[in-house]
Amino acid sequence: MIKHTKTLKVRVRDRHTPLLNRMARSVNFVWNFVNELSQRSIKERGVFLSAYDMHPYTKGAGKELGLHSQTLQCIAGEYVTRRKQFTKVRLNWRKSGGVRRSLGWIPVNTGAAQWKNGQVYHNGHYFNVVVGMEVEPSKGQDRIGIDLGLTDTVTCSDGTKLEAGRFYRGLEEKLAIAQRARNKTQVKTIHAKIANRRKDALHKFSRKLVNRCGEIYVGNVSSLKLVKTTMAKSVLDAGWGQLKTMLDYKCAHAGIVFKEVDEAYTTQTCSSCGSLPESRPKGIAGFGIREWTCSGCGVTHDRDINAARNILAAGHGRLAVGIPVL
């Protein structure tokens, strides 16, 4: 058995957003208060207040601000830590509004948590909790290379594919109608449904791979770079980054190998003979070629499956190098 920590997350629904925003604004208010308090103490008395020294000044404010009393102590502790780190008399103010507003931050500790009716609560509300758990290593022995694409989001070296267009199926027409009618609420709802479909499909697909594999290798294509090109919409729809993240943590929990490998020339190289034949798809003109025959050995390839097989071979090559001698 392998021991891991895992975060149990509660979905933040729309009805929770005002509460979280209100608490985050209160946290910013307390931060700015202790920031000013510390500055005045140093200026007027030459004394650097510790977190303990600040507690009497914030005592009793939690009820008024909608924060737990120990959250106030956490804010003071964090402020003192950052003041020492940056060696400043005064830190930046935390802004709750405007384009330069600070990110929402609500510190908690175990003393502010309660177990009630089978749920974990903070200040009377749900929150995320990290727990320790034992995970049985995956018994799968397959080895899979994965090529990420736009026509098919995922193509595996064994021929398994995940079609990209399935996320939109049955919703394209409704989305187009809502966009023409400029119905922003409906457009937002449809996009949310598409995103949920994508996430669900990627979760199921990645889980199947982890259950049956002992090694998984994926090409190092960067979605962050491609979103700056004309392919941005297609890349974001494919969800490459989301899939890599899922595979990364699921493989870690299952105790199996997961690596990103250099995918350079994996499309053009023949996975059968390892050569770069003249018949290979080249450059921009080769993007539309989905199947090609190697002029060297005569084997016919599905473009994406061939790339996935080369990615698998590259993964094996990296392992074969072994551990360098220090």
> pLDDT by residue (tens digit) across 11-22?
555 667 788 889
Q: Indicate yes or no: pTM above 0.75.
A: no
Q: What is the pLDDT of residue 322?
A: 38
- What span, in angstroms and rounded, lies between the C-alpha atoms of 40 and 99? 29
In the chain, where does DSSP find H-type helix?
17-45, 51-58, 61-65, 69-86, 172-180, 184-212, 223-226, 232-238, 240-254, 303-321
Please write the tens of the pLDDT for every residue from 4-13: 666 655 555 5
Q: What is the pLDDT of residue 180?
A: 92
Q: Which residue has the higher pLDDT, 162 or 52?
A: 52
Average pLDDT over the chain, rounded to an integer = 82
Q: How far is the CA of 138 from the CAs of 47, 129, 141, 184, 215, in angstroms?
A: 58, 25, 8, 45, 10
Q: Quick one: average pLDDT of 175-195?
A: 89
